[in-house]
Structure 1
Amino acid sequence: MALLRGAGCEVWIGGGWGVDALLGRVTREHHDLDLAHRADQEAVVVATLERAGYAETGDALPGRPVRFVMRDSYGREIDLHPITFGPDGSGVQPADESGGVFAYPADCFVVGAVGGARVPCLSADQQARFHQGYEPRERDLHDMARLSEAYGVAAAF
């Protein structure tokens, strides 16, 4: 996060680390870091991560322009989600190749904490929206249970 912010990139933590950021504590192990980023800063995001030893994997499904994964030689993964912002501060991310989008309301960009450091992340409501419409894994159930306890949000799996 510090590396990307130092390069002038705006990014927000989502996924499991985003849930933990909202809670202000680590609640489970994580295999990757989900980062939403400004689509217009993507070249800087990628170049900054490449300088830090990350390379795009081509592993992500459905892949660009929806999302893509970068991994370093230690196996650390960053799952990147490009957002195009409107003048009102809301954003959209491609959801599929047929033109569908994931919506990001302007109020979903909030601040949480990881390791005592304040970090930009996605709101509990936004996290719940992203946990809908698919068969949940154990970690999804865990994350949503923690958000429900803390924020009263629920996902409709």
Structure 2
Amino acid sequence: MAEPEMTAGDVLAFLTLTDGLGARVWLDGGWAVDACPGSQTRPHADLDIAVRERDAPALVAALHDRRYRPVPRDDTTAWNFVMGDDGGHLIDFHVIVLDADGHGVHGPPENGHRYPAPALAGTGRIGGRTVACVSPEWLVRFHTGYAVDDDWADVSALCARFDIPIPEDYRRFR
């Protein structure tokens, strides 16, 4: 049996929902990697989003009305959690607070985790629709600093398409 996946249609339906709520979201992860050049390169098990903290409760409630429920994980926090439905659709929330400089503070400020303002300036296309997403340069940066595995395809595609130097973490794959 095939693993459930988030299709482009699922992403567009989700974005229509966020539009209706007036919620501001940025695509992150695999769908952002595909949105930046404007074409899907692989199946995606989930949809990663950065969402403003003030928009998260309404979005969670709207997904709850659509039969999404929390998906327990070891790293679940108030600012990083997953919701899923019975069909296997997963939305991975990265909750941020925009500071005065436009940086998205992710979690307690003392942790130092954030989406710098340039990271939130990306745009891409899915199914002909322009979407807000993490910028290519920051998608590459966010894919470094941990054990590298199957991210090479995403990182190499972004680096080639947007003329970004390949990070040291990935040079052994060349």
Relative to the length of structure 1, the TM-score reads 0.90
CA drift at 1:152: 2.4
Residue identity matched to 2:77: R
Q: Which residue of 2 aligns with 1:56?
A: 70
Q: 2:46 aligns with which of 32, 35, 39?
A: 32
Judge conservation of contact 1:16–1:143 (CA < 8 Å) in 2.
Answer: yes
SS at match of 1:40: coil
SS at match of 1:47: helix
Q: Distance in 1 between matches of 2:135 and 2:98?
A: 17
CA drift at 1:130: 1.2
Judge conservation of contact 2:140–2:159 (CA < 8 Å) in 1.
Answer: no
Residues 39-93 of structure 1 show CA distances to partners (whole Å, capped at 9, x for unaligned) of: 122111111111222111112x421134100001100111000011112211111
Larger Rg: 2
Runs of at least 5 residues in structure 1 that lack an aligned partner in the other structure: none
How many pairs align? Answer: 153
Judge conservation of contact 1:93–1:103 (CA < 8 Å) in 2.
Answer: yes
* Change in CA separation of 1:79 and 1:155 when aligned onto 2, cut-off 3 Å: farther
Q: Distance in 2 between matches of 1:5 and 1:102?
A: 27
Residue identity matched to 2:92: D
CA drift at 1:101: 3.0
Q: Distance in 2 between matches of 1:24 and 1:73?
A: 29
C-alpha root-mean-square deviation of aligned residues, in Å? 1.7
Identity over aligned pairs, percent? 35
CA drift at 1:98: 9.9
Residue identity matched to 2:125: A
Residue identity matched to 2:159: S
Runs of at least 5 residues in structure 2 that lack an aligned partner in the other structure: 1-14, 170-174
Matches within 5 A, 1:116-135: 116-135=128-147
* Change in CA separation of 1:72 and 1:155 when aligned onto 2, cut-off 3 Å: farther
Relative to the length of structure 2, the TM-score reads 0.81
Matches within 5 A, 1:52-131: 52-59=66-73, 61-94=74-107, 99-109=110-120, 110-131=122-143
